[in-house]
Every structure is written in structure tokens, then in C-alpha cells.
Structure 1
Amino acid sequence: MEPSEFIAKWSESTLGERQAAQSHFLDLCRLLGVQGPSEADPTGETYAFEKGAQKTTGRSGWADVWKKNSFAWEYKGPGRDLEAAYAQLQQYAPALGNPPLLVVSDTRKIVIRTNWTNTVTEVHTFELSDLALAETRQKLTWLFIDPDRFRPTLTREAVTEEVAGQFADLAEALRQQGHAPLIVAHFVNQLVFCMFAEDAKLLRDNMFTRVLETALAGHGEFHELASDLFSKMHSGGRLGLEPVLHFNGGLFSDENATALPLTHDQIRLCLSAAGRDWSAIDPSILGTLFVRGLDPDKREELGAEYTSRDTIMTIIRPVLTEPLMLEWQTVRDEITGRIDPAYQALAAELEIAAQFPELAEEIREVRGRLTASAQLQLFENLPKLRKHRKLDQVRGSLRAADRAYREAREFGEEQYKNFLERLRSMRVLDPACGSGNFLYLALNELKTLEWQIMIEGEALGFQRAFPTIGPEAVLGMELNPYAAELARISVWIGEIQWMLRNGFDINRAPILRPLETIENKNALINADGSAAHWPDAEIIIGNPPYMGAKLMNRRLGREMTRDIRRLYEGRLPGFTDLVCFWFENARTMIAEGRSQRAGLVATNSIRKNTNLNVMHRIVETTRIFAAWPEQRWDIEGAAVDVSLICFGNYPTDAVILDDRQVAEIHADLTAGINLTLARPLAQNVGVAMLGIQKSGPFDIHGDLAREWMAQPVNPNGAANAAVLKPYWNGDDVTKRPRDMWFIDLPLGLSEAQAAQYEAPFHHLATTPDENGKSVRENRQDLEERAHERWWEPHWPRQEMRRQIEALRRYIVTPETAEHRVFSWLSYPTLPDKNLIVIARDDDLMFGILQSRFHELWSLRKGSDLQDRPRYTHTTTFATFPFPDGMTPDLPLEIALARPEASAIAAAAGELDRLRQNWLWPEGLWTVVAESVGGFPGRRVAIDERSAGELRRRTMTNLYNTRPEWLTAAHDELNRAVARAYGLASEQIEDEALAMLLDLNLARR
């Protein structure tokens, strides 16, 4: 068909919708050279006219034309409302598999709207005359063969991020003008909501844009014009002669109705932003703008955080969507299991009854009670039954089959309505809701589920109703009042968008229903010190605040931290990260039957050390049915590893760990061998310890230390060398020695006595940290014992020092490092807290620790910081089962008497010798003696070329490249240690871990 022929034919057509739709579509296919439904798919399974289920109206189909994964197409007669056709398509898109393109047309116009998830909707309109253009025909061809060509390049998040950047600049400028940060944040979100409201057609005729234009033209002050609008939006009424809908909800309440003044440039910025389409804005922008609108110094304090849509949906699907769909599938199967056999039996009886003219009236009455779909299917694919029965027998059988069918339908309708009521009564709680991202997505999912089930109910022949799930379905708790308000706004916007996106009108009296279910309160503790009450909710979701146990005193205050920990005494250890209390509350609600499932985000430290206790409690009283232990998450440019954990009552036995099915998820979010069963061993006590925790400027560079040591003796007659020692941390092991020293004042000195070491004491008293605070000021946030004696290290580790002073050398390993390596140090060099100290000086201990067996154990029993494993001596060394006869509690001579010991010691000594030779090649360095203090000499490069080569030779680089000689040395050591365990030298990882766990359990 030629374009001119197509245009001529359909420009003159007066056919109505029903007569023209299929003919027009097939002509269009011929024009574009693509196949129509019957040619491409005679079965109608992937491409069909009148796609869908029978409706109660008797009309077939949810779309006039449908092509799987391509489009749904609805026709209207010429001059009819295409927006109504679009609303109809929106309502049935879920039942059609949410095709990426929704098309509405009459015979003179075609309108294509994109429907990809989480993208900005684009509209493409083609008039009949446009078909004369090859460009138009090409685009319409893509509709059939390459719909991805229409995919929008902008996501909702991308638009949100771009606009958020503009408003961040506005917020910063308003703060600079002297407005309080929280007032600025609130005002910016009023602006955003107004832009959304006018694009969603809730503010008529671009009312807010006209306010901006009027102010810019000098016909009124912006803050006066906007304040009038805000006031009317709160209560409803008229602004001049124009009606303003009743919004309510608190965002524009009387105390919040006064707008801030804007400069002309700021009004222009708002006008530019208002020119965008805000109707599809991602409500998460409210939280983003809130955070960016605050004083940066207050963001962390308020806990205003943003969680990505993908992260949230990873949790919502397993705790909310999937279980409900499984439940509905069970209910639907029960319904069809009753209705289908009853229908088949009735169909058979009707066919027999059709042979008796005397039953014609009764047959019509029975058929009138059938659904439209049942009437059309009645005699399809049923064999002709030729049974010879008497009239009375046939009448009786027909009535019995009719009664059974009606009873089956009544049962089905009751089950269907009961499930909808169950869905509508469901409540979802976010007890740390922030600005509401979890809540609005949960509400969106609930509304989508309700509508999808209603569509399926319609397909089963039940009457379709209006969706009723609303914001009351989501409950929240948030400590910050502005964030709580934003959560309400996010939920409201989310609901409005869902209704409009799916073709429904919204409630308008008021537009924003009260949301008292989102409370401004502390989720853990009441003002009187009692435990905060969480409302009953079937589902608990959220992203509780991340705050390490060490920071709670500083951030929350000592009193509140103490009171919170007191509430959980006996359930959680005192030194527990803040997030654990949310997990414990959720676990308790599930155990008490007040909730069914929970899905929460935590830093990945939730599964390690003292935090592991709450995970043990979860697996003891319920189960973890889905988890993602290591999810990289970028917040404000910083990469954080989080764990996503779903636990509680799941309707099937399925267990998913990192998107793969496993038999069980253990407390440490692993599957397979359950190393959480391992417990500390008495044989290992008192050997592994932390280094010194300084908490202040106690470390100084060697140049400064030598300068001080060269000074005259102090007023107390002691030289500074008496209170200075070489000092190593993890970087000295994994990189190159930094030549750092430690101010080591004797413990127990009074402040006056300590001040007699003039230069070191003055340095401690006056040196600020990166925040401009001295050690004395920083200690104010710590425990009493810490800040009373600020000139002493926070944790001096006296027992550790006593042990290493008695040894010729001692073993250290970095607490956090890419590779698990052990090295030797010797007193007077002191270890920092970033080094774990093992107070032994024998090669046997060194070799066992450096073996693959201990490395495997440490990787599973330790924690990690981003991508670097962390060695935790309380869970790793304390639980590690050393070979029989070589445990740390035995005298060394007994351990060395074991026949395997000498091989381990020899292999360990050789490994250390080779590594040291590589780190310090002969000819590149020399020893420089310390001029005072009697300290050992230090190695320095002989020239700049040598210094460059030595800088390259780090322990990390060595293990990254792992040369053959290093692999061979480790293999020799691993074979020797394997023989000590009575194993073959070639041992796969799981077998080795299983053996170690069995050994741990046997020794307890």
C-alpha cells in the first residue's frame, strides 16, 4: 500500500471504532511492510487482536491490538477522547505484561507513549498526513520490529540528580543569606511539591509558574505571592478568582505558609526548573534535596540518608511482593480448582439439555447467569455427548450442575474478596523511615499488587472494583521532624503518581489524606527511658542508622547510649552497633507474632564480632530466607559495603543467598559450613591482643622525634628519649616503614608531672586534629576515664606491652589488609591498634598463622572493611583450632617435640627470609644508627634511585604479583601444616574448613 493511498482512504473514512480498528491496523501493516497478528502468530499467544480476558460487558480484550514485549494499542473513533483510551491502556498494562509502548489512535492520529520502568515518559504524536514522510514510517516500523529505539535515555534518577544539583545551589545561597538550614530545606521542598502539583494538574493552569513569572516581572514580591498560594493550598479556596484545591497534609500549614524571599536570579532558577515535567518525578528527590539543603555539618547528626531504588526493591520483593503473589497463586488455584470442574460439568449438561426443546427457557436462564467468557467458551472443545436420558433426568441434572456451578462461583468470589481484604488490611512499617523512600516504594508495590489481583479476578469473572489501598497502609517512625514530614510528602506524591500513571482519578477532598501513621519519634527509647513501642505490622523494612558502637557515646551522648543499652541488657552485648537494636526489635515482633517478615539494610559488620549476637538470635527464633552480604553502595561519593537481610516467615522453603539458592543461611550470612558454631578456645586465651589505641596526636615523625631527643634534659632531669619509641601500624607492614615514633609518657603521671616532658607534652596539648580539636577536646566525647587523663593513650595495653618486652621478637598482622600477612617486630618498637599482636617469638607459631589453614579461617571468621579483610583476634585467633600438641597453651618445647613441628618452623623461617630479602635487597640500603637513646639503627636507601626501587617493594605489591618463589614457599609451608593436622597436602577449601570446625567443636 502506498502512503498516498493510505492517507486518502482514511482521511475520508467515517467508520466508527469497532468497524475501523482492525481494518486500519492491517492497512498500516501493509503500508509499513510488517506482518499483522494472524500472519506473524496464528496462535495469538504473542501477537493478537482483542488481547485479554472476557469482560463482564461481553467485549473481548484489554487492548485492541497487543504484541508481547512491544506494544498495546487501543483505538477510538474519529474525534473521540484519546486520553480516555490511554487511561484504559494504563489500567490494563500489568495484565498485558507491561509492554514498553502504549499506543492510542483513531484513524487520523497515532500517539505513542513510552512505558519503560523508571524512565521519563516520552510522547510521540503522528498525524495522518505525517505518514507521507519516510521518517515517520521508519519510526512506526520500529514500533513493530525494534521498540527499544523508543527507549528514553533519561531515567527518573538522572533528572532527579540534575535538578537536585540546581536546588542545592539555591539552598546554599539561602543559607548564606542567614536562613536556618532546616527552614531552607522545608522551603525547597515546598517549591518542589508546587512544581509537581501543577504538572500533575492539581494546581490549575500552571499557577505556580505564573507566581514566579509575576514576581520576576516586578508585579509583586515573590514571598508574598507564594505565601498566599501556600496558605490557599493548605485550606483550599480561591487565589483571586481562581480556585485552589484543598491539599492539607501539613506541608503548607499555617506555621509553614510563609515563603522565603528570592532574588531575581533565584526566581529565574526556579522558573527554569518549573519548565521541566515534574509529574513523573522520583519522590526520592525530596530526601536528596533535604540532605543537600541542610548545613553539611548537620547531615550526619540528623541521619538524613538516601537509599537507591534498586537497593530498596531488592528488599521489598522478597519480603512483600513475592510472598503475597505466592499466597494469591494458592488462592487462585483453589478458586479455579472449584470453578473449572463445575463449569465443565455444567457445559456438558447444557449440551445434553439442548436436545430437548422443552428446556429452552431453562437453558436461557442458566446461560444468563454465566459470565461472558463462559458463554463464549461454552461449546468449544467439548465432544458431542449423545446420552439418551429422559426429560426429568436431564432437567434434574442440569439444575444440579447449575447449582454446583453457582456454589463454586460463590466460593471463588468469597475467596477472592477475602484475599483482597487481607491485602488491604496489610501494614508495612519502616521504623527508621528518613524521608520515606522505603515507604513510598512499598505503597507503590501494594497498590500494583492490588490492581494486578483485581485484573486477574476480572479474568475469573468477578466484578472489578476501584483500587482502595492508600497511604494508611504504610507506617513510619522518624526522629527528625522535617524528615518525618518529607516521608509523608514522598508517600503522597507516590500515591498520586500511581493513580495517574494507571489511569485513575485521585481523591480531592482533601488531596493529601492525613498521615498520622508516620510518627515523629525515637524508634528505640521514649523520653522517660522506657522502650519505644512499634505498631503491629506484617512487614518491617528499612535502612536503620549506621553508627558504630564506638561512636554512640559521641553522637547520641553518654546518657542516651547507656539507657538504650540498658533496655537490651541480656539480649545484646553492651558494645553493639546501633543498627543491631532495630534488628532485635524486628526479630522480637516476629517471635511474638506481631509481624511476619523483615527486610533491613545494615553495614556488613552486622555479621561479625559482637554484632553477630543479634544474627544468632534471629536464626534461633526464625530464619533468614534471603540475604546479600556484600553490596557496594555509594553514599556522597564514599563506597560502603552493606548487607541486605530478609528474615521471618516465608511461605516456601526457598532460601536465596546472593541470588543463588542454598539450603540455609547462617548467622554470618554464609551457607554451607556453619562456622558461627565455632567458639573461643581456652587454649588460645591471652596470646593475641590489640596494639595501643592512641586517640590523639601521640604519633610523630622520626625527624621530630630525633629533634626532641637532641634537646637538653627536661626539668625533671629526664631526656625526651625516655618517652619516645619507634611505632608501627598496618601501613608499615603492608607498605614501607614510615619512620613514625610514639610519645610514651609513663602511666600514672599527674598532669603537672607529664608537663615536665616539655616538648612532647606541649605537642599533645596543642596539636589539633583535622577538625581543629585538640586531644583534650576530643576526649570529652568519650568515657570519663578517657578524658580525665587525656595525656595518656586511650588504651595503653599494659598487658600486651608486658608480654612483648619479655620476648626477643613478636608477631604482628594488620587488622585490615588486602592480604593476610604476618611479620616480626621487636621491642622497643610499639604496635598501633591497627596491628594485632601475637605474643610469641617462635617460627612454629609464625608458620601455622601464615598457613593457608589459618588464612581460610580468618577470611570466614573475621570481618572486612570494604574490599579488605579484617583480622579480629576475638573471633579469629581465639577460635582457631591449632594442630594437636601445638596449641598456644602448651610450652614451646612440647610443641616442638611433635615430628611435624620442625618442618613447619623451617618452612616458616625460609618464607620470612625470602620475603625480607625481596623487601630489602642487598646493595639498596644501609643502616643509620640512632644518635641518642640506644635505639636500634634504621635502614635507609643509599641514594634516590634505590629509594624509588624500595618504594615499589611493598608486601602488598609482592602478594599482588605473587612470584613463583613466593608460591613455592607457601606451598611448602602449607604441606607441613597439613601434615600436622593429619591431612593430605592437597586439601580443598571446604574440606579444610570442615575439619577445623570439627576440631574446634571437639575441644570446647
Structure 2
Amino acid sequence: MTPEQFIARWKDNKLSERAGAQAHFDDLCELLEVDKPRDPDNYCFERGAKKAGGGDGWADVWKRGHFGWENKKPGRDLEKALKQLTDYALQLENPPLLVVCDRERIVIHTAFTGYPDEPREIRIEQLVTPEARQLLRWVFTEPEKLRPEKSTAAITAAAAGQFAGLAKAMRQRGEDGQRVAHFLVQCLFCMFAEDESLLPAGIFTDLLKNAGQDAEKARRRIAKLFQAMQQKNGEYGDADIPWFNGGLFKSIDIPPLEPSDLAGLHAAAADMDWRAIDPTIFGTLFERGLDPAARAPLGAHYTDTGTIEKLIRPLISEPLLAEWAAVKAEIAAKPKKAKAAYQTFLLRLNHFRVLDPACGSGNFLYLALKALRDVEKRAHVEAQELGLPAELSMQTGPHNILGLEINEFAAELARVTVWIGDIQWCRRNGYAHATNPILKPLDGIVHQDALMNADGSEAEWPQCDVIVGNPPFLGTKKQWSELGRDYTDRLRQLYDGRVPGFADLVLYWFEKARAQIEAGRLTVAGLVATNSIRGGANRKVLDRIVASTRIFEAWGDEEWVNEGAAVRVSLVCFGNSDQPAQLDGVAVAKINADLTSGSALSKATKLAENTNCAFVATVKAGPFDIPGDVARDWLKIPNPNGRPNSDAVRPWSNGMDVTRRSSDKWIIDFGVDMSEADAMLYEVPFAHVLEQVRPMREKSNRAAYKTRWWRLAEPIPKMRTALIGLNRFIATPVVAKHRLFVWMDSRVLADHQLIAIARSDDLTFGILHSRFHELWSLRLCTWLGVGNDPRYTPTTTFETFPFPAGMTPRDTAPRTGQGTPPCLAGEVAAERIAAAARCLNERREAWLNPPEWVDWVITPEEEKAGFPKRPVAKPGHEADLKKRTLTNLYNARPAWLDLAHRELDAAVAAAYGWTDYTPEMAEEEILRRLLALNLERAAAAA
């Protein structure tokens, strides 16, 4: 069929809508030389056929993965046709294109996830052109070619960048940052309102254009427009201005403008389609660009909606859809009561309240509102299918959401995010947005401290159905500096007994949500926390939650972006919900306080036989460390007291020295009680500390650090006492990807990034390096928010671990006058573990420092002082040796290493008496046995 034949047949065609629809579509397929719809499973007419209530199907034509197509008679409202397609997008498997047609016009709407709708209209007369026919042919063959060039995220980021530049320029002229930010938010809303036809076409853009270079004229006119938007029956020139209200234009305070500001604003208004702004990231990006107090850089990543939906779905969408499913069943079973049941459900949605008690710039609130809107829309559509009349208005809206936010500008942005997002939702789904005023008041988003009132009393949260949000992450060490010492101390005192004093700030929100549930003022909550919530002091808050309610959904370790930095977080949903428990997307019987589903290892207790053995090592609090070559030179320098500098300087090691290669750093160490007068006699080391350390220490908030500035901040005397008489000790990095244990010479001083274990026997080394201790430590450790590495702590991981009977740290302690036994004499099982441990260590050391590549060196001064030899690369092998690290070795885990560990595991399993052990034994079974042993030991000692 030629274009001319097609146009002649269908221009002014009088066939009815139903009679002409399929014939028109078949002819169009012939014109475009594409297949006709003849496959009921993938490409067909009347997808969905007739609905239960007697209405039409979901789409007149449907092609899987390509389009939904709705036909109308010429002159009919194509917006209504589009609404039908959007109503049934889910049933149509969310096609990327939605096409509406009245036989003389074809309008193609793009519906790619994360991209704006860029409609393209083709009129019947245009079909004579190859370009129009090719565009239509892509609808059938290659819909990806119609994907918009820029995503909504990219458009939003570009807009935020433009406004950030304007804000920066105005602030650099000395204008108040909050004044500038408030004005620019009003401007960007005007641009959005103009493009969404809420304001008369071009009114804001033309205002800026017509003012030319006269900045004062523009300033006066902008003020008049803002005033008109604030009022009922507002006017601007000859134009009637709708009533916006809502608080955004309550305060009109326009800063002085420059011609460059006008040019920037005009470019933003004229060049961008503000309808495409993405409300899920809008607030975050604009806060970073406009608020001078925002710490994260503009352009930093933001959390994707898919991650946030992991909270929204189980808290809002799924339970409400389950309620709707029950109502649908009631409607079908009791037709006479159908309308009442339906209206009761809609009233339930109307009264539903969601609170974000740390709402920031509103992305969680918008997504919560969108979820409520989506549930109601689905109820409308499916109620019509069941024969109930169509609902013309919605019961959900901005009144459903509540927010608390300590930053006033962020709270304002949260309101704008919700307003813009809700208007977009209504437009895209074919519902009327609010009018008179367009911006309904959002008094539920409040500028306040969520935790503590100004008078020091606990802040009260409003009653609601759901709490959801991403409260601030702030570790205990940063709380004094970020929040102020007075505020931090008062906050900890206020929540004493409920939140541990050394918990992350985010835990206060968890505890308050738990208390709301306990008080009957909240049903469920879902919050984001650093993944360290699973262990240590942080986990005590989850212990309280599990004791008073239940965790029904959790994601233990997710990537998140906070203040522009990638961190690892846990997502936790808890409260009075009967939903089946899900952990990391998998159904489980229950979720423990440590966000596991198996044995509740949080019940494990410290064992007396493990105490006074493992220590967090020394803390410097100043530049006490020096390069090895400098230290070796100092060993040659005499002192006035006749003592060598080896008394005051010694080799030093931190966590990276273990996981990588030795940095050859030494440390100045004046012990635990050396006086300043005695330290002075070691002239060169003391001079270094006097110059480099003392100025820093004098600024410390800790009196002991100031007054004893020449000593390490925390010299750990108990560790030093425990190491007396040992020629070596076991060390493990506090934080590491792999749980590694190494031997360290006792003359080396360990840094606080190492745990020092005061044992020198191969037996203890072997048990610690077994699979069993590794699993135990991974479950009972704490976790770093940044990255995904476990933090080994003596209290939770070492002191709770049940060693095999007769092989505990108490059993392997140094014997008075006998030193430390290499293993327990006469014990076959112990000898077997010790032999396997020696084999593992020897093979690792041979790999790390092969004799063909390494020379072991020591100076006479080092040897005299008893310091250990150092491995130095032979000429030509420097690069080779750099790659020989324990981290690289365990990343590769060659067969010989795996075999050595399997032999060690088998020896340790035999010591436990586990005759049924195999390498395939489930982790949960191993942990169950270890927990039982821990509880048995603890009970026996009680």
C-alpha cells in the first residue's frame, strides 16, 4: 500500500471506532511493511479482551516489549486513551511505548523507566515522508531508537548544576546563602509550573527575556509574579494567575540581581523541559547545590529508587495491596456491600500516614506518597473491572506524609519535592492535580530536631502508620565534633539505658521508632543504618527491638551513598506485622537481632577462660612513627643517660603491614610510665616528639593526652604485661577482607589497627585460623559502614568463642617458670592442630618471601637490641615482591593454601569431637554447635 492510498482511504473516514480500528491498523502495517498482529501471546489485537465489569480490554493492540496501542475515532480525546494505557501498563508488562491514535493522528509516548515522556505526533498527511514512516516503523521493530537522549536523572543533575552556579555566584557577592537558596527554589518551581502549563505559557521565561539587562526591573517583576501566585485570583499583567499558596511563596525576599543572574535564569527556563525533573533525586541534588551548609559535592551519587523501594515495598505497597486483595474478594462475594467495602478501603488510604523523622530533602517522602498513589490507582482500575463506577478524584495526596528535618532549607526542599512529584504523578496517570490552591499546605513537614527539644526533653513524634527513612550516620568518635560536646552529652544522658553511649547516631531513630511501636503510636518502621548495627554496642538497640516486637524484613549488607561517599548499610523493617520474614530477599523462619536467620549468636556470652588474652593494641594520637632508616640511624646515637635509643624506638606494625607488606615503620615509645625528665635523656627521639607531637596534643580535649604528651595516647599496659616472656605473639588486623592471623615478634609494637593475642603456641594459632573461628568472628564482629569489611573485636569475637575443651586460652597460658608450651603435651588432637598450623604458616611464609627473591638483613645495632631481621628484595625482584601480600594470596586462594586450611579445619573439628565433619558442613550447623558449647560453658561457670 502506498502512502497516497492509505491517506485516501483513512482521511475523513466515517467508519465507527470499533469498525475502523483493526482495519486501519492492518493497513498501517501494510504501509510500513511490518507484520500484522496475529500472535495471541506476543503481538495481538484486544489484549486483555473484555474485563469482568464489561468494559474494554487493556489495549486495542499490544506487542510484547514494544508498545500498547489504543485507537479512537477521529476527533476523540486522546488523553483519555492514554490514561487507559497507563492504567493497564502493569498488565501490559510495562511496554516502553504507549501509542494513541484517532486514525488521522498517531501520538507516540515514551515510557522507558527513568526517562521522560517525549511525545511525537504524526499526522496522516505526514505519512508521505520517509522520515515519518521510518519513525513509525521503529515503533514496531526497534523501540529503543525512540528512547529519549537524556534520562530524568541526567536532566535533573544538569539543572542542579546550573542552579548551583547561580547560587555560588550570588553568595560570592556577599548575599546571604539561605536568602539566595529560597529565591532560587521559588524560581525553579516557576519554571516547572510554566512547562507543566500551571502558569500561562512562557510567562516566567518572557519576564526574564523582556527585562534585558535591567536587573532591578526583573527583580520587581519577579516579586509581582510571586505575589500573584501567593494570592487567590492573582493577576500579572493581562494574565490570570492560579492560586498556588502552600507556603512556598509566603516569604518573598528577592536578593539583588545582576545581568549575569538574569542570563543564567533565562537559559535555565528557556533551554530545559522542567517537566522531566526527577523528584526521587531532585531534592538531594538541589540541596547540595543551593545550600551553603550542604557538605556533599554537587554531582555526588544518590541512592537509586530500587534500593529505597526495598523499604517502601514491605512497609507500604505489599501490606496495603494485601488489604485490597481481601476487599476485592469481599466485593466479589457480596455484591450488595461492594460499594461500602470499596469506600471503606479508600477511606483507609485517606487516613494512612507515613512519617520520615529525618526527611532531608524529601526523596523517601515522595516515594512513600507515590506508593500510596499507585495502590489507590490500582484499586480504582480493578474496582471498575468488578463493575463499580469510576472514581474521578483520589483520596491519597500530600496530606498522607509527615516529616521532621533539622535543616530548615532541606525541609523546604522536601515540600517542593513532594509538590512537584505529586503534580507529575497526577499528570502522567491521568488524574486531576490539586487546585485552589495548587500547592496544598504541607504543614506535616516540620523543621525540628527529631531527637531532643531545646529544653533538653525528648522530642515527640506524631502518631502514624509507618515510619520510613534514612537517618544520619555519625559514629561515636565524630559526634562531639559534629554535634558539639554539650549537645552530645545531653543526648546520651537523655537516652541513657535505651541507646548505648557509644552507638552510632542513627540508632537513636531506631530506638524512638521501637518506643512508638511499644506505645501503640506506630505500626511498623523501616530505617537505614550503617551495617555495623549488626554487632557490638550498636546491636543492643536491635536486641531491644527483637525483645519488644519483631524484624520482618531486612537487608544485612547493601551498597548506599551517604553525603557523596559509598558506604555499606543494613535496611531493617520491624514492628507489628504478620508478613512472613524475609532476609536479603529470601524467606526465612525468623530474623535475629544480628540480622541473621539461623542460630541467634547474639545470645553468646563472654567466657572466663578467654579473658586477658586478646587486646586492641596501642593508640598513637600523634606522629610518633618514623621511617625505618631514620630509626636505624638513631640507634647509633649515644644518650646522656648511657642508655641506647633502642629503649625508646622499636619496630612498629599496623593492619596494612599485615594485609600488604611491611612499611618498615618504627615508633617512638616511652612506655607506660616513663616521666618527662627520663624521656628527655633520649635526646633525638624526645626532640622529635617535642616538635611534632606536643603541638597536636595540646589541642586535645583529653586532659591525659595533654599532660602526658610524650607518651603514646593509649600504651595498653595490660597487653604489655601479658606479652612478657613471649618471643612472639599472634596478631590479626582489626579490619580486613580476610580474617588473617600472623606471628609477630614480641619486640614489634602493634598499632590499634591490630588485635594482639598474647599466646605463642601453634595450637592457639591453628584454632583461630580455622573455619570455625572465622565463621564465628564474621557473625559476631561489628562492620565498617564504609566498604564491606568486618571489624574483629576482642570482646564480641574472641572472648565469646568456645575453644575445644582443654585447649582454651586459659589452658595455653604461659606456665610460671616454664614459658608457653608449644602445645598441650600428650594430646594427640592438640599436636595434630599444631602441626597443621605450622605447615600453613611455613608455606605462607615461603610464598610471601621466597629465598630466591629475598635477603634477610639486620644492622649490628638492631641485632644487639634483639630486633628481628627484615626481608629486603634482591635486585631485580622489587616489583615481584610487592605483589606478594596476604590479601593477594587469599584473593587467589591457590590449591595448596586451600588444602592447608582443610587439613587444619579437620584437625580442629576432631578436637571438638565432630566425627561427622566434612568441608561441606553447613555454616549454620557449625554455628549452632558452637553457640550450644558457648552457652553450656557459660552456664557451668555461673
Do the structures match in fold with TM over 0.5? yes
Match of 1:441 in 2: 367
Matches within 5 A, 1:222-233: 222-233=218-229
Residue 452, structure 1, aligned to residue 378, structure 2: yes
Match of 2:249 in 1: 252
Matches within 5 A, 1:406-805: 409=336, 411-465=337-391, 466-635=393-562, 638-652=565-579, 654-709=580-635, 713=639, 721-747=646-672, 760=685, 763-764=688-689, 767=692, 774-777=696-699, 779-780=700-701, 785-786=704-705, 789-805=708-724
Question: Given that residues 185 and 289 in structure 1 are in contact (C-alpha distance below 8 angstroms), is that contact kept between their aligned partners in structure 2?
Answer: no
1:525-581 Cα shifts (integer Å, max 9, x gaps): 111111111111111100011111222222212222222222332233222111111
1:978 to 883, 905, 909: 909
1:617-670 Cα shifts (integer Å, max 9, x gaps): 222222222222121234566331111122223343x22222222222222222
* Distance in structure 2 (CA, Å) of the matches to 1:666 and 1:51: 48
* Distance in structure 2 (CA, Å) of the matches to 1:181 and 1:485: 14
* Distance in structure 1 (CA, Å) of the matches to 2:165 and 2:522: 43
Match of 2:848, as an amino acid? L
* Distance in structure 2 (CA, Å) of the matches to 1:423 and 1:844: 64
Moved more, 815-824 or 862-871: 862-871
* Distance in structure 2 (CA, Å) of the matches to 1:163 and 1:324: 36
Cα gap change, 1:891 to 1:189, in 2 (>3 Å): same
1:65-113 Cα shifts (integer Å, max 9, x gaps): 5566654444444345544544565556567665433322223211111
* Distance in structure 2 (CA, Å) of the matches to 1:741 and 1:927: 16
What is the CA distance between 1:686 and its match in structure 2? 1.5
Match of 2:818 in 1: none
Q: What TM-score results when the alignment is normalised by the length of structure 1?
A: 0.85
* Distance in structure 2 (CA, Å) of the matches to 1:211 and 1:60: 47
Cα gap change, 1:18 to 1:853, in 2 (>3 Å): closer
Moved more, 568-577 or 832-841: 568-577
Cα gap change, 1:673 to 1:45, in 2 (>3 Å): farther
Match of 2:777 in 1: 858
Cα gap change, 1:134 to 1:50, in 2 (>3 Å): farther
Match of 2:152, as an amino acid? R
What is the CA distance between 1:263 and its match in structure 2? 4.4
* Distance in structure 2 (CA, Å) of the matches to 1:733 and 1:317: 43
Question: Given that residues 48 and 67 in structure 1 are in contact (C-alpha distance below 8 angstroms), is that contact kept between their aligned partners in structure 2?
Answer: no
Match of 1:910 in 2: 839
What is the CA distance between 1:209 and its match in structure 2? 1.4
* Distance in structure 2 (CA, Å) of the matches to 1:202 and 1:493: 11
What is the CA distance between 1:300 and its match in structure 2? 6.6
* Distance in structure 1 (CA, Å) of the matches to 2:594 and 2:655: 26
Match of 2:696, as an amino acid? S
Cα gap change, 1:520 to 1:765, in 2 (>3 Å): farther
1:14-54 Cα shifts (integer Å, max 9, x gaps): 456566445433433454456666x543x999640795647
DSSP 3-state at the match of 2:355: strand
1:212 to 181, 203, 208: 208
* Distance in structure 2 (CA, Å) of the matches to 1:445 and 1:761: 65
Moved more, 503-512 or 815-824: 503-512
1:818 to 737, 740, 746: 737
DSSP 3-state at the match of 1:279: helix
What is the CA distance between 1:446 and its match in structure 2? 0.7
Cα gap change, 1:47 to 1:717, in 2 (>3 Å): farther
DSSP 3-state at the match of 2:276: coil
DSSP 3-state at the match of 2:287: helix
* Distance in structure 2 (CA, Å) of the matches to 1:661 and 1:798: 49
* Distance in structure 2 (CA, Å) of the matches to 1:806 and 1:179: 68
Q: Unpaired segments of 5 or more residues in structure 1?
A: 340-408
* Distance in structure 2 (CA, Å) of the matches to 1:646 and 1:981: 38
Match of 1:901 in 2: 830
DSSP 3-state at the match of 2:698: helix
* Distance in structure 2 (CA, Å) of the matches to 1:791 and 1:190: 57
Question: Given that residues 812 and 837 in structure 1 are in contact (C-alpha distance below 8 angstroms), is that contact kept between their aligned partners in structure 2?
Answer: yes
1:303-329 Cα shifts (integer Å, max 9, x gaps): x99533222112101110011101110
Identity of aligned residues (%): 46
Match of 1:873 in 2: 794
Match of 1:48 in 2: 46
Match of 1:986, as an amino acid? T
1:507-540 Cα shifts (integer Å, max 9, x gaps): 2322212211111111111111111111111111
Report how many residues are paired: 919
What is the CA distance between 1:479 and its match in structure 2? 0.7
DSSP 3-state at the match of 2:828: coil
Q: What TM-score results when the alignment is normalised by the length of structure 2?
A: 0.90
Cα gap change, 1:203 to 1:790, in 2 (>3 Å): farther
Match of 1:836 in 2: 755
DSSP 3-state at the match of 1:774: helix
Cα gap change, 1:852 to 1:192, in 2 (>3 Å): same
Q: Unpaired segments of 5 or more residues in structure 2?
A: 814-820
What is the CA distance between 1:497 and its match in structure 2? 1.1
1:947 to 862, 878, 902: 878
Cα gap change, 1:158 to 1:903, in 2 (>3 Å): same
Question: Given that residues 476 and 504 in structure 2 are in contact (C-alpha distance below 8 angstroms), is that contact kept between their aligned partners in structure 1?
Answer: yes
What is the CA distance between 1:711 and its match in structure 2? 5.4
Moved more, 857-866 or 46-55: 46-55
What is the CA distance between 1:287 and its match in structure 2? 1.9
Cα gap change, 1:46 to 1:257, in 2 (>3 Å): farther
Question: Given that residues 728 and 745 in structure 2 are in contact (C-alpha distance below 8 angstroms), is that contact kept between their aligned partners in structure 1?
Answer: yes
Moved more, 570-579 or 180-189: 180-189
1:969 to 900, 917, 939: 900
Cα gap change, 1:618 to 1:636, in 2 (>3 Å): closer
* Alignment RMSD: 3.3
* Distance in structure 2 (CA, Å) of the matches to 1:197 and 1:752: 75
Cα gap change, 1:9 to 1:963, in 2 (>3 Å): closer
* Distance in structure 2 (CA, Å) of the matches to 1:822 and 1:690: 14
Cα gap change, 1:764 to 1:265, in 2 (>3 Å): farther
Match of 1:844, as an amino acid? L
* Distance in structure 2 (CA, Å) of the matches to 1:568 and 1:265: 48
Cα gap change, 1:54 to 1:735, in 2 (>3 Å): closer
1:581-618 Cα shifts (integer Å, max 9, x gaps): 11112122223322222111111111111111122222
Question: Given that residues 444 and 498 in structure 1 are in contact (C-alpha distance below 8 angstroms), is that contact kept between their aligned partners in structure 2?
Answer: yes
What is the CA distance between 1:123 and its match in structure 2? 1.2
Match of 1:514, as an amino acid? P
Question: Given that residues 230 and 257 in structure 1 are in contact (C-alpha distance below 8 angstroms), is that contact kept between their aligned partners in structure 2?
Answer: no
Match of 2:848 in 1: 919
Match of 2:146, as an amino acid? F
Question: Given that residues 72 and 101 in structure 1 are in contact (C-alpha distance below 8 angstroms), is that contact kept between their aligned partners in structure 2?
Answer: yes
What is the CA distance between 1:483 and its match in structure 2? 0.7
* Distance in structure 2 (CA, Å) of the matches to 1:711 and 1:293: 59
DSSP 3-state at the match of 1:461: coil
Moved more, 807-816 or 624-633: 624-633
* Distance in structure 1 (CA, Å) of the matches to 2:860 and 2:315: 64
